[in-house]
Amino acid sequence: MTSNTTGSTPPDNPTRQQPAMPKVNKLTADDITASLKAGFSDFLARPVMSAFFGLFYAVFGILSVWSLVWLGKVWMVIPAAVAFPLIAPFAAAGLYEMSRRLQKGDRFGWSEILTVMGRQRKREMGWMAFVTLFVLWVWFYQFRTVLVIVLQDSSFSDLDGFFNAVFFTPEGWTFLAIGTCAGALLSAVLFAVTVVAMPMLLDREIDFISAMLTSIRVVKENPAVMLTWAAIISVTMLLSLVPAFLGLIFTLPILGHTTWHLYLRAVPPTEG
């Protein structure tokens, strides 16, 4: 009997072997503490450059709120404020690169960091931006739907009127309860798929689907630690919005640098 696979002749249509998925580590609260210390150290190593990214993010937030008020879209202020921290990973891309170079002992200036950030639009991070924008679109859509259903009898033409309707009426409290639950769910989803994926896409040649799956695995394997980290990010970012977004000048860089170091602890480097 003659075998169809005799000899060493390769198949006519060889299938390219897919790279193995990255491994993930078990984390503890000590990893968050150590990452925060390393992130703060990175901030102190390059305070001006780090603060620049925080300032840029803060100015973007101020202009966004001002634009919504100026356009008469006062109802969008609350969902925009909630969604604002969710786009922080993109603003932190330059911070990830700074931490990567600091860890390696490389010398760098503005051009090196900004060039790396500019190249990300041609890599897989662009797809992550699409995923994030889709989640944000869902968030704004459901927010407006709940607003129309629950507050249909309320009228507000300015920011004060909107806040009064939302915070000082029974209908507004119902609206806040529903919106908070929906927003928390969407925020949890976005956090799970980006917390590790964003720094990984900058650090490695990996497709965005694999990066998102790895990020989800990290959250799944370390639910308590990642929930704690999510809470730290949420509380810190929201408190930073109170003084006219200016707290972000300091908190965003520290959180960004910390995220990089937590990623390194969560996903070990590939062998070889």
Burial of 94 (0-12, 13-18, 19+ CB in 10 A): buried
Residue 17 lies in a domain: no
Residue 100 lies in a domain: yes
Q: Which value, to the nearest 10 degrees, does the dihedral of the CA atoms of residues 201, 259, 224, 250 take? A: -150
Residue 261 lies in a domain: yes
Q: What percent of the chain has pLDDT over 90?
A: 32
Residue 255 has pLDDT above 70, yes or no: yes
Average of per-residue pLDDT across 91-120: 84
Residue 12 lies in a domain: no
Residue 10 lies in a domain: no
Structure confidence by residue, pLDDT tens digits, 174-212: 888 888 888 888 888 888 998 999 899 888 888 889 999
Structure confidence by residue, pLDDT tens digits, 20-71: 788 999 999 999 999 999 999 999 999 999 999 999 888 888 888 888 878 8
**What's at 40, amino acid-wise?**
F
Range of 102's domain? Answer: 29-266
More confident of the two residues 264 and 190: 264
Residue 158 lies in a domain: yes
Residue 193 lies in a domain: yes
More confident of the two residues 67 and 155: 67
What is the number of structural domains in the chain? 1
Distance CA 151, CA 172 (A): 7
pTM value is: 0.81
Residue 75 lies in a domain: yes
For the chain, state the CA radius of gyration. Answer: 22
Average of per-residue pLDDT across 128-145: 82
Q: Are 102 and 190 in contact (CB under 8 A)?
A: no
Structure confidence by residue, pLDDT tens digits, 235-253: 898 888 887 788 889 999 9
